Structure 1
Amino acid sequence: MNSKTLSLILSQSTTKDLHVIDASIPKSDYISIDLSQSNPALDTFDNSSSKAWDTYITNYLNTHNKQVAFGGYLERRNLYNRSAYFASKSQAEQRNIHLGLDLWCPVDTPVLACFDGTIHSFKNNTNFGDYGPTLILQHKINEVTFYSLYGHLSVASLLNLKVGQKVHQGDTIAYLGDASVNGDYAPHLHFQIIKDIQDYVGDYPGVCSLNNLEFFKQNTINPEVVLGLE
């Protein structure tokens, strides 16, 4: 099954207005944002500073009178150049292509389960520039199993969780963390839909290189399609 097939199954099988953050925020208060390496506005501040990123995102939202900035699936970014965790001597092996959807909004914003499912795994991924606290859910729709990943959470979000614990669509499963715990980013949710979790536990690549882009394009789908944000 390819990613287009999974995307179609999810689109046809989910009839609710899906949310992965605070459902009281209407989709009309979302706005897309370009964080790609081709956006010259990103050259006007220190990209290595989470505080500078927070200021840029906040000003962007205030300018447009919106509450959530979203985007980033398959976006090539310079943001990851600040971290040795993503670095490589080869440009083709440099990990800088984003594999999920980012939703930029304030710290402590509630994070919601996008589908019914169970807790697959969770972990605090503490590398600089990594996810920080991360939760992965397992789902099954029309006999098709897939996974959703929620990254950059608060540390408290991982307390009292149990593998196999059931969750329901729309349940509050976590809250967004701040830069001190979330990998040193402005507060946001990294939301990713994965076909095959492989052998990963509490983690899955959220950024890839050009060399392995085709694999990850087939093993993830664009969350904007599922959330009705495209």
Structure 2
Amino acid sequence: MSAAFEALIKRYDYHPVIPAERQYGQPLIVDLTPESEIWQKVSDGHDYAQEIKRQAAELQATVEVGRYAEERLIYQETDNFVGQEARTLHIGIDLGIPAGNPVYAPLEGCVLGFGNDPTQGSYGPSVVLRHELEGQVFHTLYGHLSVRSLAALSVGQEIGRGEAFAAIGSPDENGGWPPHLHFQLIRDMQGHTADYVGVVDPQYAEFYLDNCPDPNWILNMSL
């Protein structure tokens, strides 16, 4: 990891990417690793998403946080991961809040690309913003949005700091997931525009964790 890039990103003050009272309120830090105790509380009538909601209500959490650089096995039964079952390392941060909540740009930028992958287990609607700080170009990705989020967007469109440019999607439009924002920091898009892989094979962890460093450098949450 470039220490200079980390220092640059951490030097700036960013607008919250979800409503401030949720982003900076009480988080429920969710552990979805295979060893997590959450799986002991899952049954045929009570899945992991329901257990997360139960824990969030008990804690009075304002946001459910899915961790960066966490190994998970929740993707392997979805259509999006057929033939790619080795992809288990999550390289973004998930912010679980109700559908319809706004998504804000943390800093000024422009729309690099956007799209909608309806495959089960995918991002559903996603947007990538391109940013530049002191000559350093990087990107932020927003996955699991509402379909309506894409209607007013165009490639190259300028997005201001704090502008509400999208909204959280519901399960019937966001790839089939409980409502949440997948937020990812990406240095080199490697030719991609509308999306970028958010879960990778751990054997490539060194490259991907360097190219997609901790999004909390921007979120600045107490995790």
Question: Normalized against structure 1, the TM-score is what?
Answer: 0.89
Partner of 1:79: 74
Q: Retained in 2: the 8 A contact 1:194–1:221?
A: yes
Change (3 A) 1:4 1:178: farther
Structure 1 equivalent of residue 27 of structure 2: 30
Q: Given the superposition, is the C-alpha separation of residues 57 and 120 from structure 1 closer, same or farther in structure 2, using an over 3 Å criterion?
A: same
Change in Cα spacing, 1:171 to 1:182, as seen in structure 2 (3 Å) is: same
8 A contact 1:125–1:203 mirrored in 2: no
Residue 173 of structure 1 pairs with residue 165 of structure 2: yes
Indicate yes or no: 2:45 matched with 1:42.
no
Helix, strand or coil at the partner of 1:82: coil
> Take 1:111 and 1:42, find their aligned partners in 2: how far apart are those partners?
30
Distance in 2 (CA, whole Å) between partners of 1:37 and 1:3 is: 31
Residue among 58, 61, 65 paired with 2:60? 65
CA distance in 2 between counterparts of 1:147 and 1:165 reads 14
The Cα shift of 1:21 comes to 0.6
CA–CA distance in structure 1, aligned partners of residues 50 and 150 of structure 2:
28
Q: Which is further off, 186-195 or 206-215?
A: 206-215
Preserved CA contact (<8 Å) 1:126 1:132: yes
Classify the secondary structure of the residue corresponding to 2:217. helix
% same residue: 32
Which stretch has the larger CA shift, 54-63 or 111-120? 54-63
Q: Where do 5+ consecutive residues of structure 1 fail to align?
A: none
Q: Which residue of 2 aligns with 1:216?
A: 208
User: Aligned match of 2:118 in 107, 111, 126?
Assistant: 126
Q: 2:88 aligns with which of 59, 82, 96?
A: 96
| Length-normalised TM-score, structure 2 | 0.91
Distance 1:170 1:84, change over 3 A: same
Q: Is the 8 A contact 1:7 1:226 kept in 2?
A: no
Larger helix percent: 1
Are residue 184 (structure 1) and residue 176 (structure 2) matched?
A: yes
Is 1:10–2:9 an aligned residue pair? yes
Gap change, CA 1:26 and 1:124, over 3 Å in 2: closer
Counterpart Cα distance in 1 of 2:54 and 2:74: 18
Structure 1 vs Structure 2 CA RMSD? 2.1
Q: Deviations over 1:75-132 (max 9, x none)?
A: 001111212432448xxx7001101000011111111111110000000022210100
Q: Which runs of 5+ in 2 are unaligned?
A: none
Paired residues of 1:85 and 1:127 also in contact (CA < 8 A): yes
